[in-house]
Amino acid sequence: MEKILKVKDLKVHFPVKGGVFKATKGFVYAVDGVSFDVYTGETLGIVGETGCGKTTLGRTIVSLYRPTEGEIIFKDKNLNKLNKRDLLELRKDFQMIFQDPFESLNSRHTVRYIIEEPFAIRAIGDSKWRKNKVLDLLDKVGLSRNVLDKFPHEFSGGQRQRIGIARAIALNPALIVCDEPVSALDVSIQSQILNLLMDLQKEFSITYIFISHDLTVVRHVSDRVAVMYLGRLVEIADADSIYSNPLHPYTMSLISAIPKVWGKAQEKRIILQGNIPSAVFRPSGCFFHPRCPYATDLCQREYPQLKNYGDENNIHMAACHYAKNDL
């Protein structure tokens, strides 16, 4: 399969500044050495707790943040080495859907202005052409055509997210990074938006990177799933494989936390102690060892590398010293 996006050893560190002269006192290691590929047409889910760096990762992929180190190669072009003009041109091909539809739409602009902005920025088409295009897009995302001159606050959360989606697909992008697109919505609305996203994927063959903390949602939409912990990937594999056979204890605990509707009650539920550690002062060795029920001395000393524990056809990478043991 063709790779649309290659992320190589990506690091995004934010300096922590303080004092009179704003000296750098340390770094937040928001994303610290993440590598993965995204194949054309698939949906890659990225899950993790709050503060694990998944939003930063998504924003870096769409060039909102500059990576400290590493490369993002989109359609064989290194995003960080492009000049402004080329980047603007390439931006057509990757877009983002934001978490909070209340925040991501400028409350001072009409729906029409919001959706036609991608065209306005690139000076595509005249006013009439743009209006028709906006009406088209409204149809596609399931909004009625008479909302053109309304303002975002006149809509419900789900409708607003549809406006956000219309804006994101306006330029026919190949890749869309969805940053928790449904977590601010009611459950009943969530499924509508998810189905809309999946329909659009089929219609326009869009590739998604789907960031979420909700494992059920990720399972519903994703072909492959990556699990992040404190700025690093701890496991990445096919969705089925990861949900049926998680290798990393962190993934196991996440999956065991999914509420079950059918079948008998959970036999073994792993409840993690404590919070996610600080991304400024990280634990030694495996970042997960302070919370891991299986941690040993080795885990305290050494960070486990991400290795493939599956086979050629079914790659299942995990970063745990004891992934091979049946924990």
Partner 1 sequence: MFKLNPLTIEQLKRFKSIKRGYYSFLILCFLILFSLLGELFVNNRALIVYYNKKFYFPTYTNMIPGTVFGLGYEYETNYRELQKIFKQDSQGNFVIMPLVPYDPFETDKLDGSYPPFPPSIEKKHYLGTDKTGRDVLARLLYGFRIAIFFSLLLLIFEYAIGITIGLLMGYLGGRFDLFFQRIIEIWNNIPFLYAIIIIASIVIPNFFSLLGIMIFFGWIGITWYVRTATYREREREYVLAAKVLGASTARIIISHILPNILSVIITFVPFTIAGGITALTALDYLGFGLAPPTPSWGQLLSEATEFHVKAPWIGISVISSLVVILTMVTFIGEAVREAFDPKMYTTYE
CB 235 within 8 A of CB 246: yes
CB of 195 to partner 1, least distance (A): 23
Q: Does residue number 64 form part of the binding site for partner 1 (CB under 8 A)?
A: yes
Please state, in angstroms and rounded to a whole number, the distance separating the CA atoms of residues 49 and 257: 12
Q: Does residue number 107 form part of the binding site for partner 1 (CB under 8 A)?
A: yes
Kindly tell me which of 114 and 254 has the beta carbon lying closer to partner 1. 114
CB of 169 to partner 1, least distance (A): 12
Q: Does residue number 22 form part of the binding site for partner 1 (CB under 8 A)?
A: yes
User: Which residues 6+ apart lie within 8 Å of 225 measured at CB?
Assistant: 44, 45, 46, 47, 218, 219, 236, 237, 238, 239, 242, 243
Please state, in angstroms and rounded to a whole number, the distance separating the CA atoms of residues 327 and 322: 8
Span from 105-113, 186-194, 222-230, 315-323 in contact with partner 1 (CB under 8 A): 105-113
Q: Does residue number 59 form part of the binding site for partner 1 (CB under 8 A)?
A: yes
E strand or H helix at 241, and its extent? Answer: helix 239-244
The CA–CA distances, whole Å, from 88 to 106, 117, 161 equal: 21, 14, 24
Span from 33-41, 99-107, 132-140, 293-301 in contact with partner 1 (CB under 8 A): 99-107
Q: Does residue number 130 form part of the binding site for partner 1 (CB under 8 A)?
A: no
Candidate list 35, 40, 80, 110; residue touching partner 1; CB under 8 A? 110
Site residues for partner 1, 148-177, by CB under 8 A, read 149, 151-154, 164, 167
Kindly tell me which of 80 and 245 has the beta carbon lying closer to partner 1. 80
Q: Does residue number 100 form part of the binding site for partner 1 (CB under 8 A)?
A: yes
Q: Does residue number 257 form part of the binding site for partner 1 (CB under 8 A)?
A: no
Please state, in angstroms and rounded to a whole number, the distance separating the CA atoms of residues 94 and 80: 14
Q: Does residue number 95 form part of the binding site for partner 1 (CB under 8 A)?
A: yes
Span from 24-32, 87-95, 238-246, 292-300 in contact with partner 1 (CB under 8 A): 87-95
Please state, in angstroms and rounded to a whole number, the distance separating the CA atoms of residues 265 and 269: 10
To 10 degrees, the CA torsion angle through 165, 177, 109, 131?
Answer: -50
Q: Does residue number 126 form part of the binding site for partner 1 (CB under 8 A)?
A: no
Please state, in angstroms and rounded to a whole number, the distance separating the CA atoms of residues 121 and 144: 25
CB 97 within 8 A of CB 168: yes
Q: What is the DSSP letter of 290?
A: T
Q: Does residue number 273 form part of the binding site for partner 1 (CB under 8 A)?
A: no
CB of 95 to partner 1, least distance (A): 6
Please state, in angstroms and rounded to a whole number, the distance separating the CA atoms of residues 300 and 233: 18
Helix, strand, coil % in the chain, rounded to nearest 5: 35, 25, 45
Q: Does residue number 105 form part of the binding site for partner 1 (CB under 8 A)?
A: yes
Span from 100-108, 187-195, 278-286, 309-317 in contact with partner 1 (CB under 8 A): 100-108
Please state, in angstroms and rounded to a whole number, the distance separating the CA atoms of residues 161 and 122: 23
To 10 degrees, the CA torsion angle through 287, 291, 297, 303?
Answer: -20
Q: Does residue number 211 form part of the binding site for partner 1 (CB under 8 A)?
A: no
Kindly tell me which of 91 and 321 has the beta carbon lying closer to partner 1. 91
Span from 118-126, 202-210, 227-235, 265-273 in contact with partner 1 (CB under 8 A): 118-126
Kindly tell me which of 107 and 146 has the beta carbon lying closer to partner 1. 107
Kindly tell me which of 95 and 251 has the beta carbon lying closer to partner 1. 95
- Where along the sequence are the contacts to partner 1 (CB under 8 A)? 22, 59, 62, 64, 87-88, 91-92, 95-96, 98-100, 102-110, 117-118, 121-122, 149, 151-154, 164, 167
